[in-house]
Amino acid sequence: MTPQYDIIIRRGNIVDGTGAEPRLADVAITDGIIAAVGQIDGTAAEEIDAIGLLVTPGFIDLHTHYDGQAVWSQRMNPSSSHGVSTVILGNCGVGFAPCRPGDRKLLCATMEGVEDIPGVVMQEGLTWDWESFPEYMDVLAAKPRDIDIGVFAPHSPVRVHVMGARGANREEPTDNDLAEMGNLIREAVKAGALGFATSRTAVDRRNDGEYIPSFDAGEPELVAAAQAVKDAGGGLIQMIPELGMTGLTPAQEFGLMRGVSDAVGLPITFTVVPGRKNNPHFWRELLRLSQEHNAKGGALIHPQYFPRPVGMMASFELTSNPFVNTPSYKKLAHLQLPDRIVELRKPKVRAQILADNPDEALLPLTAMTRQYDVMFELSDPPCYEPAPGNSIADRAEREGRPAAEVAYDLLLENEGKGMLYVAFGNWPTDSLDHMFAFFDDPHSVIGLGDGGAHYGLICDSSYPTFVLSHWARDRKGRQLTIQQAVRAMTSHPAGIIGLNDRGRIAPGYKADINVIDFEGLTLHAPVIVDDLPGGGRRLDQKASGYRYMLVSGAVVARDDQPTGILPGTLIRGLQAKPTQSLAA
Enumerate the β-bridge partners of residue 546.
516
Share of the chain above pLDDT 70, in %: 98
Q: pLDDT by residue (tens digit) across 426-476?
A: 999 999 999 999 999 999 999 999 999 999 999 999 999 999 999 999 999
Q: Which of 387, 406, 425 is the last residue of a domain?
A: 425
Q: What was the pLDDT predicted at 580?
A: 54
Q: How confident is the model at residue 582 (pLDDT cuts 50, 70, 90)?
A: very low
Q: pLDDT by residue (tens digit) across 204-253?
A: 899 999 999 999 999 999 999 999 999 999 999 999 998 777 888 999 99
Q: pLDDT by residue (tens digit) across 404-419?
A: 999 999 999 999 999 9
563 pLDDT more than 50: yes
Do 98 and 133 fall into the same domain? yes
DSSP H or E stretch at residue 438? helix 436-439
Residue 97 lies in a domain: yes
Q: Which of 445, 464, 497 is the last residue of a domain?
A: 497
Pairing mode of beta strands 301-305, 445-446: parallel
Q: What was the pLDDT predicted at 203?
A: 85
Do 187 and 246 fall into the same domain? yes
277 pLDDT more than 80: no
Task: Classify 84 as helix, strand or coil.
Answer: strand
Residue 14 belongs to domain spanning: 5-57+508-561
Do 30 and 64 fall into the same domain? no
- How large is the average pLDDT for residues 170-191? 98
Please give the Cα distance from 4 to 1 (Å, whole number).
Answer: 9
Task: Classify 356 as helix, strand or coil.
Answer: coil
Q: Which of 391, 425, 459 is the last residue of a domain?
A: 425
393 pLDDT more than 60: yes
Do 143 and 219 fall into the same domain? yes
583 pLDDT more than 50: no
| CATH classification at residue 50 | 2.30.40.10
Do 84 and 111 fall into the same domain? yes
290 pLDDT more than 50: yes
Q: What was the pLDDT predicted at 276?
A: 79
Residue 582 lies in a domain: no
Mean of pLDDT over the chain: 96
Check: CB of residue 314 under 8 Å from CB of residue 472. Answer: no
Q: What was the pLDDT predicted at 550?
A: 99
Do 79 and 157 fall into the same domain? yes
Q: pLDDT by residue (tens digit) across 339-355?
A: 999 999 999 999 999 99
Do 131 and 64 fall into the same domain? yes
Radius of gyration of the chain (CA): 24
Check: CB of residue 383 under 8 Å from CB of residue 526. Answer: no
Q: What was the pLDDT predicted at 244?
A: 78
Do 208 and 321 fall into the same domain? no
Do 420 and 432 fall into the same domain? no
Q: pLDDT by residue (tens digit) across 185-197?
A: 999 999 999 999 9
Q: pLDDT by residue (tens digit) across 472-529?
A: 999 999 999 999 999 999 999 999 999 999 999 999 999 999 999 999 999 999 999 9
* Between 69 and 1, residue with greater pLDDT: 69
- If 0-12 CB within 10 Å is exposed, 13-18 middle and 19+ buried, where does residue 567 land? buried
Residue 9 lies in a domain: yes
Q: What was the pLDDT predicted at 246?
A: 80
- How large is the average pLDDT for residues 158-178? 97
Q: How confident is the model at residue 278 (pLDDT cuts 50, 70, 90)?
A: low
Q: What was the pLDDT predicted at 584?
A: 40
Check: CB of residue 46 under 8 Å from CB of residue 33. Answer: no
Residue 581 lies in a domain: no
Report how far apart the first and last C-alpha atoms of the chain are (Å, whole number): 27
Residue 580 lies in a domain: no
- How large is the average pLDDT for residues 541-553? 98
| CATH classification at residue 220 | 3.20.20.140
Q: What was the pLDDT predicted at 362?
A: 84
**Number of domains making up the chain:** 3
Residue 203 lies in a domain: yes
Q: What was the pLDDT predicted at 188?
A: 98
Q: What was the pLDDT predicted at 430?
A: 93
Residue 467 lies in a domain: yes
- If 0-12 CB within 10 Å is exposed, 13-18 middle and 19+ buried, where does residue 52 land? exposed
Do 46 and 84 fall into the same domain? no
Check: CB of residue 94 under 8 Å from CB of residue 114. Answer: yes
Residue 268 lies in a domain: yes
Enumerate the β-bridge partners of residue 198.
239
Q: What was the pLDDT predicted at 1?
A: 63
Do 328 and 438 fall into the same domain? no
Neighbour tally for 327: CB within 10 Å? 12
Do 257 and 284 fall into the same domain? yes
> Distance from CA of residue 211 to its chain's centroid?
21
